[in-house]
Amino acid sequence: MLSHSQTIKWQGQNGVMEIGNKVEVLEDATGKLSFADVSAPGLQNRFTPSKTINLILGYTESVFWVKFRVENDMPDNLVLEIAQAGLPDCDFYERINDSSTIIYKAGSKTPIHQKVIKSSFQAFPLAYGTHDYYIRLTTNSGPIPIRIYKQNVYDEKSLSQKFVYGIYLGLMLFVFLSNLFFLLSLRNYLYLANAFNVIIFVCYSMLVVDGFAPYFFPKIDMLFWYTLIPPLGVTIQTIYSLWFLEIKKYNPGLYRFAIGVVAIYSIWFILKFFLPFHIVQPVNTLQALLSFFLVGFISIQAGRKGNRFGYYFALTYFVYFLLVLAEATYINVGRPTYILGFSYSGYATVVEALALSFLLTKRFEWEKDEIERLEKVTQIQLLEKTKENERIVRDQNIFLEQKVEERTHELREAMQKSDDLLLNILPEAVAFELKEHGKTKAKTYGLVTVLFTDFKDFADISSKMSPELLVDEIDTCFSAFDSIVTRHGVEKIKTVGDAYIAVAGLPVPTHHHAEKAIEAAIEIRDFISKRREEKISRGEAPFEIRLGIHTGPVVAGIVGTKKFAFDIWGDTVNLAARMEQNGEPGKINISDKTYELVRNKFQCTHRGKIAAKNKGNVDMYFVEKNT
């Protein structure tokens, strides 16, 4: 019997019930667990409740088990629908009693005519009474809506959904044939390119989002096409936008950059065939996002350069974005519900296909009108043109060019000052993200190395110095530290009093973060040692420094909205501070985590297990020198 899970009680619910947030999930990373294993009492506590209306299992090759119990005391025949066509495997287990189980196989690997309910989605009958159910599935990373339908409601929904699919295909076929007609009539190959766009849109709906291809191709490999269509589509759409907007003419520099991006897209399209799904799909998602922003940027730049189609092109992509945003909202919260069972991304492809075809037609009309208008204007200007007008135009052009050049120079200087100021308080990658998007997201870094320093007896020494001398000395030391960490690729985080905090390995990850941090620490130690000798020779009180280093995960991001600062958090930061506190003047004290990463690079002395505040006994090492 199931334990810990709530019983799903069917009471009519207007004919349909969302249960994605009422089931429990177990991840089987090896894929070796059987139904007997997961239904045994010993594994019940490993199931965790789903917290989202649609299951989102991520980019993984793991097998997942879903369990739930349904109580149906109504005289209703029920259907369970898993509304995701791209699941490679989806096996349904209905537990009758401890010794009897009904099994139905589904998933994209199962031909549609072999499914118990003939649907592109995965659908199974639910029995009357109270029963335990298990589902074994593998994911394609997409959202997985799970619903219970009353039989007649499901039949009506399924029929209307197929009707919408038919209307969609008919409409897209009309757009496709229209482009072929104009291609043959006008001999302009932009119509052929747009016809390819329509094909990509249809494939995206049939194979990626709505997944109704199995109705036409029962044995199709959905997972293969699921990873093939997106990178192919963004490549074709990017090329089409460059061609349609004549970017080579209006902005040659941007054109060369975009061609480089297309080349990278093409390399990735080939490379992905040799990589596993859990690597391919996240990169596909990132590529689609970058492509959207790239095409939008290209469109706006074309508009700014005088191509009025650029703004219209950008507007179509903005509408497309709004529909995709509605799709993303539905994936996460289950609202707004699909209209007639068709995805918002599917509607987006229809809107985009119609809009691009319309713009293509209007482009040639406007080009013709523009040519005629220019010819008339040229004739009038030739009649009215005089030498005096030529002189006035020439003088005005010179004056305007000078003003534009002066203003451009001023703007560049202002932008450079702004960029320099931002880079002075934020890491370069974070500053770039903030400039591009107006905000940044906190990120988790799995492995970085944190460096802490402070001065021994700082309070006593500072009390014997004037405020001016104290600030001057601290500024000298910390300025030197800034140069040192920058030279070694270590990111300064902040200073707190006499403490200086830096981290290696973010925002750009690196495999050598521990080495970089220690190399910086050695140079800081040597700098303070040399300065100490100088101050003693002048009869001044010197500073002695303690340095502590620890390696582990951290969360990093921007704090606040005014006078914001980039900061890091996590137990790794606390342990690095403990390393510094339990060190000795002139010594670099590192944890065992850091030591394991640099043991072959630096000569270290094991200090044994030393009690660290709130951390227990911790192995610590002094770094002596490079090996």
Residues of the chain with CATH 1.20.1070: 155-369
**What is the structure's pLDDT at 424?**
60
Token representation of residue 187:
């001999």
Distances (CA, A) of 612 to 113, 291, 587, 618: 66, 50, 17, 7
Residues of the chain with CATH 2.60.40.2380: 7-151
Nearest to 277 by CA among 229, 224, 210: 224
Query: In degrees rounded to 5, what are phi and psi of residue 512?
Result: -110, 25
Q: What is the pLDDT of residue 521?
A: 96
* Residues 6+ positions from 328 with CB-CB distance below 8 Å: none
Quote the pLDDT of residue 1. Answer: 46
Alpha carbon distance 236, 2 (integer Å)? 50
Q: How far apart are the first and last CA of the chain?
A: 61
Residue 126: predicted pLDDT: 93
- pLDDT < 50: residue spans in the chain: 1-4
Q: Residue 23, CB half-sphere, CA atoms under 13 Å: how many?
A: 29
Q: Give the whole-angstrom CA distance, residue 247 versus residue 299.
A: 9
What pLDDT does residue 85 have? 87
CATH fold of the domain at 445-626: Alpha-Beta Plaits (3.30.70)
Dihedral (C-alpha) 527, 528, 532, 533: value to the nearest 10 degrees? -20
Q: Where in the chain is the domain with CATH 3.30.70.1230?
A: 445-626
Radius of gyration for the chain, computed over Cα atoms and rounded to the nearest angstrom:
33
Residues 6+ apart with CB under 8 A from 307: 245, 246, 250
Helix (H, G, I), strand (E, B) or coil at 265: helix
- The reported pLDDT for the residue numbered 230 is 87
Strand partners, 17: 148
Q: How many CB atoms lie within 10 A of CB 222?
A: 24
135 within 8 A of 82, measured Cβ to Cβ: yes
CA dist 56 → 140, 257, 332 (Å): 10, 35, 8
Q: How far apart are CA 365 and CA 367, in angstroms?
A: 5
Which pLDDT belongs to residue 333?
Answer: 63
Q: What DSSP element (H or E) covers 93?
A: strand 90-97
Q: Taking the model in full, what pTM does it have?
A: 0.55
CA-CA distance, 552 to 571, in Å (whole number)? 8
- Distances, alpha carbon 582 to alpha carbons 111, 604, 612, 617, in Å: 66, 16, 7, 11
CA distances from 313 to 316, 324, 360 (A): 5, 17, 10
Q: What is the CATH number of domain 7-151?
A: 2.60.40.2380
- Long-range (24+ apart) CB contacts under 8 A made by 185-188 are 186/364, 188/364
| CATH class of the domain whose range is 155-369 | mainly alpha
SS (H, E, C) 328-355: HHHHHHCCCCCECCECHHHHHHHHHHHH
User: 116-154 burial, b for 16+ CB within 10 Å, e for fewer?
Assistant: ebebbbbbbebeeeebbbbbbbbbbbbbbbbbbbbeebb
